Structure 1
Amino acid sequence: MDPIIAATHADPYPFYARLRAEGGLTFDHGLNLWLASTARVVRAVLAHPDCHVRPAHEPVPNSIAGGMAAKVFGQLMRMNEGERQRCPRSAIEPELSTIDSREVQALVGARLIMPGADGLQAAMFRGPACVVASLLGFTPAQGRIISELTADFVACLSPLSTPAQLDTAHAAAEQLSSHFRELLEEQSQQSPLLAGICQRFTATDSHADSLIANLIGLLSQTFDATAGLIGNALVALIENPSLRFDTPPIDELLAEVQRFDPPVQNTRRFVSAPCRIEGVNLNKGDTILVLLASANRDPQLNHNPDTFLADRQDRRSLTFGSGRHQCPGQALAMEIASATLKQILKVNPTLEQLSWHYRPSLNGRVPVFFDRAKD
């Protein structure tokens, strides 16, 4: 096993433990990158000003350069540093904190979740994007279209995507941009969330393309990560029968899932200038694989970390990152996942009939379910 394969391995956590035992920041000669595996080092890397989210020589992946997906990607706050990161974040993050959880629950409750693996997949992947689309002011019919386009767009974020998928991602980026332009033109009908973002965005950045790109980014971040959170919660219920028979509060269950078996296993940082982190000298151009899932299982971060405890006291997690690039939509993702999981459990009570494998990914841990009869 290596740290990349680990993300979709059946049980990567003993491997992560071995990495932590070797030291917090070690070099993998096979992958030609540094590995940050302990909580202390992961926090240090995420906080360091010289550790950036994109390499200086490649701000946009070469695989999508020249297309519409690249134009969107290049303006995403999560893929930038400095003002290009702070300005859109200062407009979007405060408004996300104003969303009423009851509205999220109502939007999830209004969606029909079908029983069986197919219904489960739709609820995990399409449902959360539809909820965010509704919060931004799209109609239910438009939301379904937006969720499908988001599914196509996220292909541009994966190095594993085929040329055909990347072509589809460019087309999806174009269509999503058009839908948002039309939505923004209907100022009298804007949702409170969108109106608030627009008001704050005008004060920080007058460039409409940046606003639209980051609204698309809000959808794309919701798509895989929330699906993985919901899916890994179901895996926990399947693998721990005691949880099924004495189900803890869903919010507590999800809080432990995002620590114990997170949907985002790792992220990367690129060294922009020579620096020293936890006693290790790093050079400009070095790449660090930040193993968030390993840090969550560090005994220095959580007591008895390899035990699933829904009622865990003083739970600490780095799943949503930390520092300047900490995910601004954490609370919203947890709200959507909680409401969706409650609805799923109403229509999919026989979880033992499900099997799963993990979607191909270099950093995500997102289960894909299927009925055992179809295995």
Structure 2
Amino acid sequence: MGGDDIVRALAAGGTADPYPLYAQLHQLGEALALTAPELPYSAAVFGYRAVDRMMRDASFEVHDALRMESMTPTWRDHPVLVTLMNSMMFSNGDRHGRMRGLFRKVFTPRRVLTMEPEIVRITAELLDRVAELGADGSEVDYMAEFAYLLPARVVGQLLGLPDEDISWFRSQVDLINDWLDFRRKGPEVMTAANEAAARITEYYLELIAQRRKEPQADLISDLTQAVDSGLHEVTDLELVGNLLVLFNASFSTTIHLFGNALPLLLERPAIRSTPELMPAYVEEVLRYDTPAHVFIRVASADTEFLGVQLKEGELIAVLTGAANRDPQRFAEPDRFDPARTDNQPISFGAGAHYCLGAALARSEAQVALPMVLERFPQLALGSEPVRTDQLILRGFRSLPITVADRVLVKAGGSADASG
């Protein structure tokens, strides 16, 4: 199978198990040109060193507003594009640095560290709920009742979003993620994403205005105060775009980190007695079954990259999911091995656009996963899980678990536990 066929297979339905396709790509080198007319990408980069190099090279940019002008002149008619183009995720050079500088000032490693007590508190509350739902041995959807709710509530606490708004926020972000995915987008997906972006923009603008009048101990208050101090030239619409990206970076990836981790941990019961090894396990989950598989870059000029000729403006699919299984970088890449030395998965990207929410995602997983395993010694997978059909964020849509033996109620009214 040639490179075009492999990438076509990934885009068409390779999300169920992309790893055999990645292994075929690695047999072709580190990067290759794509010529199939139906593919929007002119090249794929998938070797670990090649991915790292491209993401650190400023001549390979993210898609930004300047490029949208030539490629999609009507882009301002689409709220999802307007919102995203106002973010650092879709900005280059000085504009990216200006916005990133603001968020670095207030979203610091120290702030992530201070979130740990909240992570513990929220985790305990959610596990109480899981215990209640599964007390009689009934299946509980781990994704719906835990993996979705924990990162959403944590980032909600960080930003200052009311708990009652979190489920609504999640639904809106999911619509935008559908549009961002690796596959071609249909008009109905764009329409849904546009509507979601318009709703989120209105919501955030109202919240920013409230925080200006009555600051609270949250990130949005600190951001607005930093902007109003005159030290950071960031507009309110740029704040909205970046708050959306931060919510996405701190929420969507973490959901699937929790989901992808659980089956791997349950296959290795020794981790229950060695919770101090959880950071190494989390890193290996990020490498072995990473949530984030695809980043997009744009050639800023006619150039050559590892033998691939690229023209200015052409799109490149940067396959971080494949890079994490590169046999040239990781010995026996298809084996889950938390004891790997120099294990540095490239799941959160590299260079100037390194994921802003990476530290928070790692912290949540390292704190919460040991609590899950400790709380439920009998935790086991239930019926068949359901995978998402995305590749940009690959994980489970549903992951049924049981946390207690099933209780059978006899005709006489007494209960009998059945293992």
TM-score, with structure 2 as normaliser: 0.77
CA distance change for structure 1 residues 277 and 102 in 2, over 3 Å: closer, same or farther?
same
Equivalent AA in structure 2 for residue 294 of structure 1: A
Partner of 1:304: 332
Q: Is the 8 A contact 2:387 2:396 kept in 1?
A: yes
CA distance change for structure 1 residues 102 and 176 in 2, over 3 Å: closer, same or farther?
same
CA distance change for structure 1 residues 236 and 176 in 2, over 3 Å: closer, same or farther?
farther
Among 140, 158, 169, the alignment partner of 1:135 is 158
Q: Is the 8 A contact 1:107 1:131 kept in 2?
A: no
Alignment of 1:222-261 (within 5 A): 222-238=250-266, 240-242=267-269, 249-261=277-289
Alignment of 1:179-190 (within 5 A): 179-190=206-217
Equivalent pairs, count: 371
Give 1:105 deviation, angstroms. 2.1
Give 1:145 deviation, angstroms. 4.6
Q: What are the superposed Cα offsets for residues 73-125 of structure 1, whole Å, 9 maximum, x if unpaired? A: 11110111112211111111343322224234235335424434435324222
2: CA distance between counterparts of 1:250 and 1:183? 40
Partner of 2:412: none
Equivalent AA in structure 2 for residue 23 of structure 1: G
2: CA distance between counterparts of 1:39 and 1:181? 40
Partner of 2:382: 353
Equivalent AA in structure 2 for residue 105 of structure 1: I
Among 344, 357, 361, the alignment partner of 1:329 is 357
2: CA distance between counterparts of 1:223 and 1:101? 14
Partner of 1:197: 223
Partner of 2:6: 2
Among 86, 94, 100, the alignment partner of 1:89 is 100
Alignment of 1:1-375 (within 5 A): 2-3=6-7, 5-6=9-10, 9-30=15-36, 31=39, 33-54=42-63, 57-58=67-68, 65-96=76-107, 97-99=109-111, 100-109=114-123, 111-113=125-127, 114-115=129-130, 116-158=139-181, 159=185, 162=189, 165-191=192-218, 193-201=219-227, 202-238=230-266, 240-242=267-269, 249-345=277-373, 346=375, 349-371=378-400
CA distance change for structure 1 residues 155 and 65 in 2, over 3 Å: closer, same or farther?
farther
CA distance change for structure 1 residues 247 and 176 in 2, over 3 Å: closer, same or farther?
farther
Q: Is the 8 A contact 2:175 2:196 kept in 1?
A: yes
Q: Is the 8 A contact 1:91 1:198 kept in 2?
A: no
SS at match of 2:297: strand
CA RMSD of aligned residues (A): 3.1
Equivalent AA in structure 2 for residue 98 of structure 1: R
Equivalent AA in structure 2 for residue 218 of structure 1: L
Q: Is the 8 A contact 2:205 2:240 kept in 1?
A: no
CA distance change for structure 1 residues 183 and 67 in 2, over 3 Å: closer, same or farther?
farther
Comparing 54-63 with 65-74, which one deviates more in the overlay?
Answer: 54-63
SS at match of 1:264: coil
CA distance change for structure 1 residues 133 and 26 in 2, over 3 Å: closer, same or farther?
same
1: CA distance between counterparts of 2:74 and 2:123? 39
Q: Is the 8 A contact 2:288 2:325 kept in 1?
A: yes
Q: Is the 8 A contact 1:36 1:289 kept in 2?
A: yes
CA distance change for structure 1 residues 20 and 171 in 2, over 3 Å: closer, same or farther?
same
Equivalent AA in structure 1 for residue 199 of structure 2: A
Q: Runs of 5+ in structure 2 lacking a partner?
A: 131-138, 403-419
SS at match of 1:288: strand
Comparing 202-211 with 81-90, which one deviates more in the overlay?
Answer: 202-211
Give 1:54 deviation, angstroms. 1.0
Q: Runs of 5+ in structure 1 lacking a partner?
A: none
Comparing 122-131 with 319-328, which one deviates more in the overlay?
Answer: 122-131
